[in-house]
Amino acid sequence: MGFIAMSLTILAVLLALLAGSIWVGVSLMLLGIFSFEYFTSAPSLTILTNILWNSTNSSTMMALPLFVLMGEILFRSKISENLFKGLSPWISYLPGGLIHVNILACALFAAVSGSSAATTATVGKITLPELFKRKFDRNLIIGSLAGAGTLGFLIPPSMMMLVYGIVSGVSIGKLFIAGIIPGILLATLLSGYTVVRCLINPSLAPKQSEEYTWKDRLWSIPQLAPVIILIVMVLGSIYTGFATPTEAASVGVLGAIIFAFITRSLDFKIFSEALMGSVKTSCMIMLIVCGATYFSVAIGYLGIPGELTKFIGSLGLSRYVLIIILSVMYMFLGFLLDGFSMIVMSLPLALPLILAAGFDPLWFGIYLIIMIELAQITPPVGFNLFVINGLVDEDIFKIAKNALPAFFIILLVVVLITLFPQIVLFLPGLM
């Protein structure tokens, strides 16, 4: 059977499994077993047991539950609540005023949580009631939160980067460093859009009665200090080579616990909830990673990546046309799948094409993370849309409409990093 027929058969089986509402991780394992049994004579279950052990028995994988636990503790403590109070004096003078708190708070919380949904939920619970009460434009508030919440995946540490690094073999430390400049760029563009909108229509952000002085700004620093210190501890230790990502995650968990105790917002119940939440999330991710790794091995046995690479190469496509095709594919996948599934299901086929076209796999990791950010704000399965829906009880498609400017801004970042790859590769090149 030719590789096209095999690929179509495997795709049909995958769609049937997903249509049956079977978990993605289990679907990928079943698909791997089907591929081995139907197309090869290899011992499928023996390979599966080896994959299950090798995928989970690594120090790199240990970083995943630790970063999840750190985000869960911060999510439930007063540290996140203090972000709003601490940021307000610093950005109130900008056109758009306190709407920028949505963006900056998401950027800062993203740098210690690693999750887009957690970033959106945490910041939204704090900022939305305050901004609605102060009569800022509702659509602009929701749109800014939806877009900025996606920074949870791009600004390191990021669970998506961990998964990509584990599956692709790219250095997780370098992935973390590579996401810094694109993350700052996206946050700046989102804030810039808010400034322009409010300059054109000042009624979107009514002038507030509070007048902050430099004394107020200085007094707000202690409220920002815990998050800033955690960022320095986690990313600084990785960037300087003092700690591996796993060790840095351990330091981050310890720091989050200490600061939660200092702010008197951590008791046994909250800690138990944080542990249970991190266990559920980590198990879900690990199941998907194991299934994806097994499926990748099956695809490799069948020789599909090599044949697909040859086929695409025979079309004579330029590297930029390839990126456009992949971007359309990932936008389509984003309508149907979550970010973890997008990575693990597409990587066995997409990564060989990218390498053959001469792109850096480190650059491709950041590109893929940004494409996953788009999926977070596109219906019907955009996670950020569901999170905001739970906070404001509005129609998913109306929230998506409010997030449309952020969608195009994220696409602009994709264009910029494609035309100027040093945006991604500059900092890792210094390591």
% of the chain at pLDDT higher than 90: 18
**Taking 70 as the threshold, does the pLDDT of residue 58 lie above it?**
no
pLDDT of 44 > 70? The answer is: yes
Q: Which of 84-88, 232-236, 361-365 has the highest mean pLDDT?
A: 361-365
Model confidence at 52: pLDDT above 60 = yes
Six-digit token pair at 315? 């079309």
| Mean pLDDT to the nearest integer, 162-175 | 88
Q: What is the pLDDT of residues 255-265, one digit of tens each?
A: 888 888 888 88
Which of the pair, 181 or 64, is modelled with greater confidence?
Answer: 181
Binned at pLDDT 50, 70 and 90, residue 73 comes out as: confident
- Which pTM was predicted? 0.76
Residue closest to 156 by CA, chosen among 69, 245, 81:
245
* Residue 336 pLDDT greater than 70, yes or no: no
Tokens representing residue 257 in the block: 């616990």
Backbone angles phi, psi at 316, to 5 degrees: 70, 30
Over residues 359-388, mean pLDDT: 87
pLDDT at residue 380, rounded to an integer: 63
Q: What is the dihedral of CA 193, 194, 197, 203, to 10 degrees?
A: 180
Q: Exposure pattern of 157-182 as b/e (b: 16+ CB <10 Å)?
A: bbbbbbbbbbbbebbbbbbbbbbbbb
Mean pLDDT along residues 360-375: 93
Model confidence at 155, pLDDT cuts 50, 70, 90, reads confident
- Cα first-last separation, the chain: 46
Percent of all residues in the chain with a pLDDT value above 70, rounded to a whole number:
93
pLDDT at 1 over 60: no
Higher pLDDT, 170 or 304: 170
pLDDT of residue 175: 92
Q: Which residue has the higher pLDDT, 216 or 270?
A: 270
Q: What is the pLDDT of residue 367?
A: 96
Q: What is the mean pLDDT of residues 22-28?
A: 79
- Cα 223–Cα 89–Cα 194 angle in degrees, nearest 5: 115
Range name among 107-111, 189-193, 308-312 with the lowest pLDDT average = 308-312
Token duo for residue 67: 């970063």
User: What is the distance between the alpha carbons of residues 365 and 421, in angstroms, rounded to a whole number?
Assistant: 12
Please name the residue ranges forming H helices in 240-338: 245-262, 268-302, 304-314, 319-336
The CA distances from residue 238 to 63, 173, 175, 258, in Å, are 12, 6, 11, 20
Asked if 45 and 24 count as a contact pair (C-beta separation under 8 A), the reply is no
Looking at residue 209, its pLDDT comes to: 59
Q: Is 324 or 73 the better-scoring residue by pLDDT?
A: 324
pLDDT at 59 over 70: no
SS3 content of the chain, % helix, strand, coil (to 5): 80, 0, 20
| Separation of alpha carbons 377 and 368, rounded Å | 15
pLDDT of residue 421: 95
Structure token pair of residue 90: 């610093």
Task: Give the separation between CA 384 and CA 378, rounded to whole angstroms.
Answer: 9
Cβ–Cβ < 8 Å for 347, 168: yes
Span of 77-81, 252-256, 307-311 with lowest mean pLDDT:
307-311
Over the stretch 96-118, which tens digit does the pLDDT of each residue have?
877 888 888 888 878 777 778 77
Q: Rounded to an integer, what distance in angstroms lies between the CA atom of residue 414 and that of residue 366?
A: 9
Residues 376-422 have pLDDT tens digits of 888 766 778 877 887 787 888 898 899 999 999 999 999 999 999 99
The residue that leads in pLDDT, 292 or 34, is 34
Q: Higher confidence at residue 288 or residue 39?
A: 39
Pairs from 312-320 (Cβ < 8 Å, separation ≥ 24): 312/353, 312/356, 313/356, 319/357, 319/358, 319/359, 320/418
Report the amino acid identity of residue 201.
N
Q: Is the pLDDT of residue 285 over 90?
A: no
Q: Is 139 exposed, middle or buried (0-12, 13-18, 19+ CB in 10 A)?
A: middle
**Rounded Cα distance, 303 and 301, in Å:** 5
For the chain, the average pLDDT equals 83
Q: Which of 277, 362, 266 is nearest to 69 (CA)?
A: 277
Q: What is the DSSP string of 255-266?
A: HHHHHHHHTT--
